[in-house]
Amino acid sequence: MKASVKILALAMMSVLIIGLPIPWLYIPVVAVALFILILKASLVRLLRMLLPALPFIVAISALQALLQGGGDILARWWILNITVDGINLAALSALRMLPLYLAGSAVTITTGEAELTKTIERAFCPLDRLAGSSVGRDIATMTMLALAFIPMVSEEYASIRLAQEARGVRHGTARGMAAVIVPLVSSLSRRADDVALAMEARCYGLDK
């Protein structure tokens, strides 16, 4: 399946999942399941990608439950109430977020990053040409940079961690974490400045 078709399908499913009322949600959920099957996305990989996202999905749903609910109060803690409606809302949020996340992951694991970014860039092309903007190019560049940065970030983290370990840092402590995260952030921002300079030197941002 071509990348443009996949992205279009993803966009449509997203609109349906977010927009449709509860009784009709089964339609986009089934669509997502079919989508994943058609793309032949590896279920194992999808689940592995889901794991790090789960805490966020749970947290967001939980926040909604705590801050938005109404109806019968089941439990109370400080100023937060857990209500029946709240729990329903949480479940609904999760029900919408999960298939959305899985569909998006299926697209990223079955499409090469170059193809993906080129498709996004092309999608913005008419708009950019009319408005003289460079949204498409900027998004493509940002994606490319983010992906290039990932291996570098983990290497940098490992190095700094080793350096602090060599000076006796104990890792469970807050001071231990600060000793790694503070210099990591400085080092990464310095790298980012260097890369930005290199990009400018290669005419990034040239007005056509």
Number of residues that bind another protein (CB under 8 A): 43
Comparing CB distances to another protein, the nearer of 174 and 206 is 206
The binder of another protein chosen from 170, 171, 172, 174 (CB under 8 A): 170
* Tokens (6 digits) for 74: 């089941």
Position 75 contacts another protein (CB under 8 A): no
Backbone angles phi, psi at 119, to 5 degrees: -65, -45
**Which one-letter amino acid corresponds to residue 26?**
Y
Comparing CB distances to another protein, the nearer of 133 and 159 is 159
| 74 C-beta neighbours (distance < 10 Å), count | 12
CB 50, CB 101: distance < 8 Å: yes
Position 138 contacts another protein (CB under 8 A): no
Min separation Cβ 168 and another protein, Å: 3
Question: In terms of Cα–Cα distance, which of 83, 80, 55 is closest to 69?
Answer: 83
Position 194 contacts another protein (CB under 8 A): yes
Position 125 contacts another protein (CB under 8 A): no
Min separation Cβ 103 and another protein, Å: 24
20-25 long-range contacts, Cβ below 8 Å, gap at least 24? 22/92, 25/95, 25/96
Q: Give CA separation, 157 vs 53, 58, 145, 161, 163, in Å.
A: 21, 27, 18, 6, 10
Position 189 contacts another protein (CB under 8 A): no
Position 131 contacts another protein (CB under 8 A): no
Binding residues for another protein (CB under 8 A): 113-114, 137, 141, 144-145, 147-148, 151-152, 156, 159-160, 162-170, 178-179, 182-183, 186-187, 191, 194-195, 197-208
